[in-house]
Amino acid sequence: MSDSSNICLSCGLCCDGTLIGFVQVERKEIPMLKGLLNIEEDSTGDGVFLHPCNNYCDGCTIYSKRPKQCAKFNCGLVTSLEQKELDFNSAIEIINTVKQKKIAIEKMLVILHIKLKSPSFYFKMVELKKILEKKKSESSLTPDHLALISDLDQLDSLLPTKFNISAY
Ligand code: SF4
Ligand code: SF4
């Protein structure tokens, strides 16, 4: 198995709702995927499913049937490994940094009694940004809020630079 396949087995961040919030599914893919994914169809007939994906379990359990958008995902970390711009241990370090930041943010949300409604970490961060913006405009940020903003900013900068994904 190549380093790039191995790295995904140690990661899962693009399927578990950490880095990406949803996947779009083309109309023609829907009949084959309907029993495998919780797809919501829109008015045009195309579909979408929200993360965390119910087919992620230490890897994609429907790999050969996965949606086109999943197959086309151009992960910056995998590309950097394939192009030997990054070694395996450095890639693992980046993944662990994201996981640690995620844990730190989740702990701080509990301390600050901030309850977010979204099922995925990705959309929780979108919600959180709005809450923090509001607090900033009201000048009601505490040192704990500032620590939260700092962790979120660090995650936000890792997404485009290391994974080739837009920030939250
Ligand atoms: S984020 Fe990148 S390295 Fe991680 S599982 Fe997805 S494709 Fe693999
Ligand atoms: S279908 Fe597979 S590759 Fe796509 S999000 Fe789900 S687990 Fe990941």
Asked if residue 122 is part of any domain, the answer here is yes
- Asked if residue 127 has pLDDT above 80, the reply is yes
- Asked if residue 5 has pLDDT above 80, the reply is no
The set of long-range contacts for 152-159, using a CB threshold of 8 Å and a minimum separation of 24, is: 152/105, 152/125, 152/128, 154/101, 155/98, 155/101, 155/102, 155/105, 155/125, 158/94, 158/97, 158/98, 158/101, 159/19
Asked if residue 141 is part of any domain, the answer here is yes
* Domains in the chain, number: 1
Integer Cα distance of 130 and 22 in angstroms: 19
Which among 25, 34, 60, 63 is the best mutation to test ligand 2's pocket, defined by most ligand atoms within 8 Å of the CB?
60
Exposure b/e, 128-139, CB count within 10 A at least 16 = b: beeebeebeeee
- Asked if residue 4 has pLDDT above 80, the reply is no
pLDDT in tens, 66-75: 999 999 999 9
Asked if residue 168 is part of any domain, the answer here is no
Integer Cα distance of 5 and 7 in angstroms: 5
pLDDT in tens, 131-151: 999 999 999 999 999 999 999
Nearest residue (CA) to ligand 1, atom 8: 8
Atom of ligand 1 nearest to the CA of 95: 4
Integer Cα distance of 156 and 46 in angstroms: 29
Pocket of ligand 2 (CB under 6 A): 15, 23, 53, 55-56, 60, 62, 66-67, 70
Pocket of ligand 1 (CB under 6 A): 7-8, 11-14, 19, 75, 77-78, 163
**Full strand arrangement of the beta sheet holding 47-50:** 22-25, 47-50, 40-41
Asked if residue 103 is part of any domain, the answer here is yes
Ligand index nearest the alpha carbon of residue 82: 1
Domain that holds residue 8: 3-163
Asked if residue 38 is part of any domain, the answer here is yes
